[in-house]
Structure 1
Amino acid sequence: MPRPRTSETRERIRAAALELFTRHGIRQTSLRQIAEHLGLTKPALYYHFASRDDLVVSLVQPLVDDVESLLADDEQTAPSTPRELLGRYFDISYRHRTVTALLLRDLGALSELGIVDRILGWRFRLVELLAGRDASVADRARALVALGGLGDCLVLLGDTPVETLRPAALDAACSALGPLADRQP
């Protein structure tokens, strides 16, 4: 039987780590457990990832890249309507929903890696895009509730088919925005 290529092994490690991190928590899952789960030696795992932190960052980085791209697009071009922006944010979060669930489950471990600070930075940038630069406290609160509710829907209603969940979550988020939902770019 041929040996898996390096990129395939790396992806198998990432998939197993995400499964175990989600089930047991980041701090409670060792690299040894991940290696045993895959039938690899610990040195083989270290060949692909220098540490558990490197492995965690590799899992979160695609989400980081996608959200950063979304924000950069909207900040540099004509802004979207609030519903369009929330829809694109939903789509990214849905695509990375397992990582999003891990983020919510293990904030402490992720905070140590500086990931929570980045997420808070996104939130402030998203709030500004949704509510405006000089928004009142009430409008910023509406935007925060809309974003938080959208994220909660992804995690707590994650078994709902996306074609049902997406419009329901967007309708609810836009309701939370109140008059901000009608803002035009």
Structure 2
Amino acid sequence: MARPRTSRTRERIQEAALELFAEQGVRQTSLRQIADRLSLTKPALYYHFASREELVASLLQPLTDDLDALLAEDEAAGDVDARELLGRYFDVSYRHRAVTGLMLRDLPTLSEFGVVERIVDWRRRLTTLLVGPDADVAARARAIVALGGLGDCLVLLADTPVDELRTAALDAACAALGHPAG
């Protein structure tokens, strides 16, 4: 029975860290502040995460895993429906919106974790899936606008109910691609 508690403690540390990172920034947040927020000792926190870098990496990893899996699946499938792909991308981004928001707010610090390169790679792969590898500049630009706008909706319209936001964001992204809404 001790293992579930250990796992829950790890999750609580990640939640508190994400909150503090969003409030203060990654560099400005110490492990001591995270431990204090949870009424943990620093050694207890170090039991779960050897460093702030390890903690940050643990926050980024689920998003990375999910996006890599989504892309690998669609790349293996070949021909994809743009709206379905954008919907899956929205769902993954929404599920990890707190981490996505952190990435937007603290990108310079998180760039040390290879985040910028990963984002660029994901966007290139998504663009290729949406418009094909031989698309002209105009088609690629529309795909880039669709992807960027979809991501921005998650941050700038965060208070919108998810079903309403998903429909509106997908309609707008499809419109940017020149596809009919709905």
User: Structure 1-normalised TM-score?
Assistant: 0.93
Q: 1:74 to 1:4 in 2, by over 3 A?
A: closer
Could you tell me which amino acid in structure 2 is paired with residue 53 of structure 1?
A: E
Using the TM superposition, give the Cα deviation of residue 3 of structure 1 relative to its aligned residue in structure 2, in angstroms.
11
Unmatched 5+ residue regions in structure 2?
A: none
Distance 2:69 2:13 in 1: 26
Q: Which residue pairs with 1:127 in the alignment?
A: 127
Unmatched 5+ residue regions in structure 1?
A: none
Aligned length: 179
Using the TM superposition, give the Cα deviation of residue 43 of structure 1 relative to its aligned residue in structure 2, in angstroms.
1.4
Does residue 41 of the first structure (1) align with residue 36 of the second (2)? no
Distance 1:78 1:112 in 2: 33
Does residue 28 of the first structure (1) align with residue 47 of the second (2)? no
Q: Which residue pairs with 2:60 in the alignment?
A: 60
User: Structure 2-normalised TM-score?
Assistant: 0.94
Q: Which residue pairs with 1:16 in the alignment?
A: 16
SS at match of 2:80: coil
SS at match of 1:5: helix
Distance 1:147 1:60 in 2: 20
Distance 2:167 2:109 in 1: 33
Does residue 113 of the first structure (1) align with residue 113 of the second (2)? yes
Does residue 98 of the first structure (1) align with residue 98 of the second (2)? yes
Using the TM superposition, give the Cα deviation of residue 171 of structure 1 relative to its aligned residue in structure 2, in angstroms.
0.5
Distance 2:39 2:3 in 1: 13
Could you tell me which amino acid in structure 2 is paired with residue 129 of structure 1?
A: L
Q: Structure 1 segments of 4 or more deviating over 3 A?
A: none
Could you tell me which amino acid in structure 1 is paired with residue 79 of structure 2?
A: P
Greater length-normalized contact order (CA 8 Å, ≥ 6 residues apart): 1
Q: Which residue pairs with 2:51 in the alignment?
A: 51
Distance 1:20 1:64 in 2: 21
Does residue 158 of the first structure (1) align with residue 158 of the second (2)? yes
Distance 1:100 1:4 in 2: 27
Using the TM superposition, give the Cα deviation of residue 85 of structure 1 relative to its aligned residue in structure 2, in angstroms.
0.4
